[in-house]
Every structure is written in C-alpha cells, then in structure tokens.
Amino acid sequence: KNSGSAQGQAMGVLAAKARKTVLLTGTLMGGYADDLFYLLFRILTRRMIEDGYQPNARGSMAPAAMSFMRDHGVLKDIYTERDGSSHKTSKG
C-alpha cells in the first residue's frame, strides 16, 4: 500500500527474510499504480532505483511514485477554466 502503511511495512520485513516472494492482489494491494509502486520498491529496491525511481534530494518518494504512475498507470491531469466573473467586485 502507501509508503507508510503497516501492512506494507510488515510485508517488506517478511519478504526480506524469504528466499522467494510472490506479490498477489488482494487486500494488501489497493489496485492503484502508487500502491504497486511502494510494494515493488520495498521488495525490489535496487531494481526500482536502477529504473530511475528514487527518492529526491529531501528523501521524498512522492516524485518517484508520480513518475511510476505516469509510466505504468492511468493518471489524469484535470484543468479547470473559470471565466472572470467570479472575481467581480461590482455590478455592471
């Protein structure tokens, strides 16, 4: 799940002790690309970094997760245009 979920952290600890792991869908994975990103990063850290998904200078994983979502998920950019009438201060 997300970067700080207890389930994801527990899965990472257990997977680190196993010779092989199988990542399956179910309650552990939420079904979104960012959920998958954090699971894969815990299990395949070196490979994910080799693929360019690494923390930024401040240690945040958010930009890497966003890049992963753009590469492997469906991410919509929504732009809203408003007419200038909402900022009027007088009638006329």
Residue range 47-74: average pLDDT? 93
At residue 5, the pLDDT reads 77
At residue 48, the pLDDT reads 96
Q: CB within 8 A of 72, min separation 6: which ones?
A: 33, 36, 37
Residue range 17-43: average pLDDT? 78
Question: 25 to each of 19, 35, 39, 83, how far by Cα in Å?
Answer: 20, 11, 11, 45
pTM: 0.59
pLDDT greater than 60 at residue 27: no
pLDDT classification of 60: cutoffs 50, 70, 90: very high
Residue 9 identity = Q
Q: Percent of the chain scored above 70 by pLDDT?
A: 79
At residue 15, the pLDDT reads 84
